Structure 1
Amino acid sequence: MKNAETYALKIALFGALSSLGSALMAELLKRQHEVIAIVDDLNQWAPRPGVHCKHAGLDDADQAEQGVAGSSAVICLLPALAPDDPRTQLHHVRALIDGMSRTTIRRLLLVGDFDVLEHADKHSEQHRECAGHMVDLLQRSTLQWTLINAPVQVAGLGIEHFHHTHGTLEPGLTELLQRLARVAAGMVDTLELKLHYGEHVNFVC
């Protein structure tokens, strides 16, 4: 039963169908928060208590505004939306910032390949340029943003996997599950404790 005195967040989650998305949903639900999973195909989603599904995207500001409506904070997992495509990720970030600017929602956790900000020589020129543009857009906005380095993931992990992070469901998965679960816990702590505004964070687990 939910404690009536507990402050509940309502999180709009872009990239919910990824492994990190599943870890985040499991952690948010464990802490009795609500999740709005933003998907582009409602047929991909199975109903789940505490999780609301909304058909939206980040093609433009109108879609972004529709997706975040009704939430108190937004988490966007760029690698899940446009893997290895910096230009599309930049387009998504621009649409998200423009869409959120039309609302009263200000808190944003943006997950991406932001290692480029500290180790530029390891990444392509396109990646460096797009990451720089993202940071510039965020700094010019009124959002309370946090950049988070994307952790290593594997495809196909659902919420059920993260209910059993201390047991081996499949060979070799235990360590990865626990690492993703710890990253998800750190991200939710960041929201709950109002940490790392305007900062770039790398969770070392």
Structure 2
Amino acid sequence: HIRVGDQEVDSWSLRGIRYQFQRWLAKEARSDGVRLGVENGWFVGDKQIMRETLWLRVQPRSASSRAIDLELTWTPTDRPVTLLGAEGKSYGGLTLRFGPRSKTMITVPGGRTSGDLMVTNLPWADLSGDLKKGSGDLSGIAVFVNPGHPDYPPTWMTRHYGLLAVGWPGVTPKTLPAGEPVTCRYRIWIHRGTPDAAEIQRAYAEYCATARRRRADKD
């Protein structure tokens, strides 16, 4: 749900709001990967309420995995914008949906989960299974949250029917002041097999180390 002034719109059902591509910021293919950048706008009626930029860095694949780094920045235009997730679920934020499977395993830092999680604080979560239906091969995708993320670690929702959702800002409303950007960074880690929590944690630690180096280089 999104509030602007005394008006509330629903980004899940696209009630009262629309998202519109504005321009490409970058389209680069290099030996060390691909970099894409795009600017979008959030519109209520004819009025743009939010400027959104998305940067993707797609890294070369290794023998068993590939990493895609995402950076999302939102800047309200001339009025504050309040974001909030659905009560009891915190639907919204970065969300991955998976196709039909016969096997599903969701792993979080505490290990494999047997039930769905709601409004749960996590630095990462992984869903693995027979993602290529009929092949018999097992693989998966983890979402890693940058340690500099607002309200780290944010709340999540996971569902065994095939959903990983970082529900920031969660069920507690967050108001973004006009003209002040907010940035959220993530890594999508695509892998073969079904790594356990310790293996995924090592990959997450590598991501955090890379994020710290990039921040140090910028400083």
Q: TM-score, normalised by structure 2?
A: 0.27
Higher helix share: 1
Q: TM-score, normalised by structure 1?
A: 0.29
Higher strand share: 2
